[in-house]
Structures are given as structure tokens and as C-alpha cells.
Amino acid sequence: MRLTILGCYAATPRTLTNPTAQVLEINGHILLLDCGEGTQVQLRKHKVKFSRINHIFISHLHGDHFFGLPGFISTMRLLGREKELHIYGPKGIKEAITLLMKLGDSWTNYPLIFHELTGIGPELIFEDAKISVTTIPLSHRIYTNGFLIKEKLAKRKLNIEAVEAYGIDIAYYRNIQNGKDIILDDGTLISNNELTYDPAPPKSYAFCSDTVYTKETAKYVKGVDVLYHESTFLESEAQLATKTKHSTAMQAAKIAKQANVKDLILGHYSTRYKSIDLFKQEAETIFANVHLADDGRVFNF
């Protein structure tokens, strides 16, 4: 599981910082989470192939989280994209994007499929043989979701030495990986545990975009490997966090501790602070495994 932070600062773009966007590579998928201004440039800068992005998840319709999307969609058309592009986001995202396309007479020449979200509880919005994506209800000034991405349990790994020692034909390998026992020609039953190794535990990632602190969030992200949680303010500005429906670094750490996650990544920093290290210092008073998102930073889990 590989996470590339394209942008992680609040509100407006600056010369050295970008608004929210990140790429998650997990089990063969490349997912784009939010798409603030400058996302295309950041994708090129970090050598992420546009053509490999087939699913984009938008948390909410504030500009610093989706104003880069119209440009990305348009560029895909100029690059000759033919395969489907799926957009998941709040109701209204289809109207916003298609109005721009209509006014500019720039309809895509590839299938652009919108999945508009209105649910107030967790909802499975994408699933295939490799991963699932479920919404995380968040509490912000407008309708907002986070996203919980989980790997599916992989097939068991063949113990080649054991399989060959028993002289098992390759035709049975698929059944063995699917957990089946094997009966030899002489009637001997060979347990699957003798022929395979356990697969690696499936990984999980929770993306919690803009939200006020609420204990409900911990319930939705319980036990995930990696939690990204916004931390716009420090505790000294907690009143501003409440007023604007954002979180502090300490509050993000409380969610991580309550949910018993393995790692916490902080982001969406207000630019009023001199150093983002202050966020890490504050969060570590509550939770140990704290990491700082920063534009261009890559996490491998």
C-alpha cells in the first residue's frame, strides 16, 4: 500500500503548498482521493500515470477539495482516453462538472460515470475482487464523506517445496490456493495447511477529510492500518475548529487512539502556523505513531 500526498494544506493554494489531493496505490488499483487545484501538475511531478486512474473519490464540494477535477477530466479527453472514468462524490458534483463541459462545448470522448452520494450512514460504493470502498460519514459545514478502503483477503500462497514433494499436478494449484485439501492417488488426504502459507493480512486505509471532532468517526475506522485525519488547527485554536467544523491535531489523535489504528497521518494544516512539526508534537501527547503529510511525501505501508 503506497500513499502519495499531492496536497495537504487548507484553503487556498500557495507557491509552495497545495490543497487536498492524494493518490492511494493498493492491490493493483490507483485511486485519487480529492482533487484540489494543481492536482494535474502534482500528478505529473510525481510521475503518476493519468491513464491508470479509473476511480476518483471526492469528499465534499468545497473548492480546495475538487476545483482541480474539471481540468483533470478535460486533460483526459485531450490525451485520448477511451476507458471509463468513475467519479464518486456528493450529489451536485455531476451538475457542477457537466455545466462547465456544456458551456465550453468540451464533452468527453470517453465514458464519464458519476456516482452521486446522499447517504448519511456508511455505504459500500465500490467493490471488486481486490478492494472495497465504503463511505465514512463526517460532520462539516456541508455534506461530507471520508472513505474507507480495504484490501480483500488474497489467495493462500503455495508452498512449492511441499507441493512438489507430494508430486501434485499443476492442474490442482488453483484449488490449493483457494484453500482446498488434496487427496493423493493412494487415498492419502493432505491438509491445505501443509501445502500453503497464510497470505499477507489485508491492508486498510481511512481518509477522513474535513470534519469536526466526533467520537462516531472512531467507530467507522476502528482497527484500520492507516488513518489520515484532518488537523487544521492546534488545540490553542480549538474554538476556531468548532466554529469552522474542523479538527485539531489533538482531536485527530484521540480518534486514532479510540479506534486503535496502527498509524495516524495528519494533514489539512492551516497556514497560520510557522511549522507543521507543532501538529506532530501535539498529537504525540495522545497517540504514538504519528506521521505528517506534506506535499510530495510518499508513505509505503
Is position 246 annotated in a ligand binding site? no
Residue pair 267/226 in contact (Cβ under 8 Å)? The answer is no
Candidate list 34, 64, 263, 295, residue with the active-site label: 64
On whether 291 is known to bind a ligand per the annotation, the reply is no
Q: How far apart are CA 115 and CA 124, in angstroms?
A: 12
Q: pLDDT for 91-142, tens place per residue? A: 999 999 999 999 999 999 999 999 999 999 999 999 999 999 999 999 999 9
263 flagged as catalytic = no
Which triple of cell numbers denotes residue 171?
492442474
**DSSP bridge pairs for 146:** 136
pLDDT for residue 111: 98
What does the pLDDT average to over 262-277?
A: 97
> For residue 143, is pLDDT > 90?
yes
**Rounded mean pLDDT, 270-283:** 97
34/266 Cα distance (integer angstroms): 16
The model's pTM is: 0.92
Give the other-Cβ count within 10 Å of 48's Cβ. Answer: 17
> Is 55 a known ligand-binding residue?
no
pLDDT-derived band at 274, boundaries 50, 70, 90? very high
Q: What is the pLDDT of residues 152-182, one digit of tens each?
A: 998 899 999 999 999 999 999 999 999 999 9
Locate the domains of the chain by residue range: 2-154+200-300, 157-197
Alpha-carbon span 107 to 81, nearest angstrom: 12
2-154+200-300: CATH class: alpha beta
